[in-house]
C-alpha cells in the first residue's frame, strides 16, 4: 500500500524534508564560515538600508554625526559646502583617517543629487553580529523543524505502542483486549487484524469452555445410572476398580462445572467490603490438620478489602490446597502472609514442596496443565491455579509464581485496594 494514507509514504516525505533541512544548514554553515554566501546575501539589504539612512541625513552634518555615533560606524558626507567625516564614536575626523583605520570595514557608498555623496564604513564586528544572529536563527529553525518531525513521527508510531500494550495484555491472558484503530495505513491494518484475531481466539476459548461444561453436565446422568448398576454387581476387585473410575469421573465433572461457575461469577463480580485478614484466618484454620499444616506467618490485625468475598475465598482455598497437596513428607508448614500499602494488597503462599521450575511458572496457570509426577507432583486435573488466575484477573490483579531456594514454591497475588 503506497497511497496517501500509507505509512511508508509519510515516512519517506518527512525524511526528505528533514534531509533537505540538514543539507541547507550544512551549505549555509559552510559558506557562512567562508564568508561568501552571508556577505553576498546582505548586499541588497545593506544597500537599501544605506539609501534610507542617506535620505534621513540629507545635507545636515549634525544628522550624519548622530548616525555615526548611533550605529557605531564611520560616516563621510560630501556636499557643495564641503566634506564632513565622523568616526564611530561620533567625533569629527577626516576621510583619510577613516580609510586608514577602517580600511578593513565594509564600505557602502550612496550617490545623491548633484555632488551629494555618502560613505558608510561598517566595522567587521557589526557585520559579524548580524551574520551570527542570522546563523543562530537558522540553527533555531532547524531545531524547531527537528522537534516538529519528532512529534509527527511520534504520532505516526503511537498505534505501535497501543499494539504492543495489547500484545502484553493478551500474553497475560486478557483476551478482551482491543487496540484503537484510528487510521487505515499499514499499522492500522495490523491493529484491525489483531482485534479480529483476539476476538476469534476469545470466541474459540469460550466455545471450548462451554462445550466442556455442557459435556460435564450431561455426564452426570450416565454416571448416576452407572452407580446404580454398580450396586447390583457382586463384590470383588472388578467392582472396586469400576467404583474408583466412577469416583474419578465424578470428581473431574465436578471440577469442570465448578470452573464454569467461577468463570461466570468472575464476569459479574459481587463486590462487598470485608475483613481480608479474618477471611485468611478462616481458610487457614480449615487446613490445620492436613499435611504439614498451615500457618499465618504475617498479617495486620485487620485489613478491609473491597472485592467479591466468595471468589477471594475460593482463591485462598485453591492456593493453600495446592501448597498442601504438593508438600512432601518432610516439608515444613505452608506459610501464608498478607501485607498492604496505599494501593496494593499482597497475599503470599509459600510451601516447602518440590517447587515449580521458573520456565514452567506461566505454563501451570493454563487449564489442564500438570507437571511431571516424578518430581513429586501428585495427580490432579490442572485446574486449581487456572481458577486462581481467572479470579485475580477479574479483580484487575496479578499472580506470580516463583521457585524458592533450596526448594518450594512462592505464589504471590497482588490485588488493587
Residue 64 vs residues 21, 43, 59, 75, 102: alpha-carbon distances, Å: 43, 22, 8, 7, 17
Pick the CATH number of 186-266 from 1.25.40.390, 1.10.1040.10, 1.10.287.130, 3.20.20.70: 1.10.287.130
How are beta strands 334-340 and 344-350 bridged, if at all?
Answer: antiparallel
At residue 36, the pLDDT reads 47
CATH topology of domain 270-416: Heat Shock Protein 90 (3.30.565)
CB burial of residue 407 (10 Å; 0-12, 13-18, 19+): middle
Bond prior to 406 in cis (omega within 30° of 0): yes
CB burial of residue 196 (10 Å; 0-12, 13-18, 19+): exposed
Cell reading at 343: 494501593
Q: Is the dihedral of CA 375, 379, 383, 385 positive or negative?
A: negative
| Residue ranges of the chain with per-residue pLDDT less than 70 | 1-9, 11-12, 26-44, 103-104, 124-135, 209, 212-213, 216, 255-259, 263-267, 367-368, 370-382
Domain ranges of the chain: 7-37+128-167, 42-122, 186-266, 270-416
Fold match flag (186-266 vs 270-416) = no
At residue 377, the pLDDT reads 46
β-bridge partners, 339:
346
Residue 380 vs residues 100, 224, 371, 391: alpha-carbon distances, Å: 105, 23, 10, 20
pTM of the model: 0.50
Tell me if residue 275 falls in helix, strand or coil. strand
At residue 327, the pLDDT reads 87
H-helix segments, 172-236: 186-231
Amino acid at each position: 500500500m503506497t497511497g496517501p494514507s500509507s505509512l511508508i509514504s509519510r515516512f519517506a516525505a518527512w525524511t526528505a524534508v528533514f534531509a533537505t533541512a540538514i543539507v541547507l544548514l550544512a551549505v549555509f554553515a559552510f559558506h557562512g564560515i567562508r564568508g561568501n554566501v552571508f556577505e553576498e546575501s546582505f548586499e541588497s539589504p545593506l544597500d537599501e538600508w544605506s539609501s534610507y539612512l542617506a535620505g534621513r541625513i540629507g545635507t545636515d552634518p549634525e544628522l550624519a554625526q548622530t548616525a555615526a555615533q548611533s550605529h557605531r560606524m564611520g560616516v563621510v558626507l560630501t556636499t557643495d559646502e564641503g566634506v564632513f567625516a565622523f568616526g564611530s564614536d561620533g567625533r569629527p575626523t577626516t576621510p583619510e583617517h577613516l580609510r586608514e583605520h577602517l580600511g578593513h570595514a565594509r564600505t557602502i557608498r550612496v550617490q545623491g543629487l548633484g555632488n551629494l555623496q555618502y560613505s558608510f564604513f561598517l566595522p567587521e564586528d557589526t557585520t559579524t553580529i548580524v551574520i551570527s544572529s542570522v546563523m543562530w536563527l537558522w540553527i533555531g529553525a532547524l531545531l524547531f523543524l527537528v522537534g516538529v518531525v519528532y512529534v509527527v513521527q511520534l504520532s505516526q508510531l503511537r498505534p505501535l505502542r497501543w499494539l504492543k500494550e495489547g500484545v502484553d495484555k493478551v500474553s497475560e491472558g486478557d483476551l478482551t483486549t482491543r487496540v484503537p484503530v484510528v487510521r487505515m495505513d499499514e499499522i492500522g491494518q495490523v491493529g484491525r487484524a489483531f482485534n479480529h484475531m483476539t476476538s476469534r481466539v476469545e470466541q474459540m476459548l469460550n466455545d471450548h469452555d462451554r462445550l466442556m461444561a455442557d459435556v460435564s453436565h450431561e455426564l452426570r446422568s450416565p454416571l448416576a445410572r452407572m452407580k446404580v448398576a454398580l450396586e447390583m454387581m457382586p463384590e470383588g476387585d472388578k467392582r472396586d476398580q469400576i467404583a474408583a473410575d466412577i469416583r474419578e469421573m465424578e470428581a473431574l465433572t465436578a471440577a469442570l462445572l465448578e470452573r464454569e461457575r467461577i468463570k461466570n461469577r468472575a464476569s459479574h463480580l459481587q463486590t462487598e467490603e470485608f475483613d481480608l485478614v479474618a477471611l485468611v484466618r478462616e481458610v487457614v484454620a480449615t487446613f490445620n490438620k492436613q499435611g504439614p499444616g498451615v500457618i499465618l506467618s504475617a498479617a495486620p490485625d485487620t485489613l478491609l478489602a473491597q472485592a467479591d468475598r466468595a471468589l477471594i475465598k475460593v482463591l485462598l482455598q485453591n492456593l493453600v490446597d495446592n501448597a498442601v497437596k504438593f508438600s512432601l513428607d518432610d516439608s515444613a508448614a505452608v506459610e501464608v502472609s498478607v501485607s498492604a500499602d496505599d494501593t496494593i494488597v499482597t497475599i503470599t503462599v509459600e510451601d516447602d514442596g518440590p517447587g515449580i521450575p521458573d520456565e514452567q511458572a506461566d505454563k501451570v496457570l493454563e487449564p489442564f496443565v500438570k507437571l511431571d509426577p516424578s518430581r513429586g507432583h501428585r495427580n490432579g486435573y490442572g485446574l486449581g491455579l487456572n481458577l486462581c488466575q481467572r479470579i485475580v484477573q477479574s479483580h484487575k490483579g496479578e499472580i506470580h509464581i516463583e521457585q524458592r531456594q533450596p526448594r518450594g514454591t512462592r505464589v504471590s497475588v497482588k490485588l488493587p485496594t
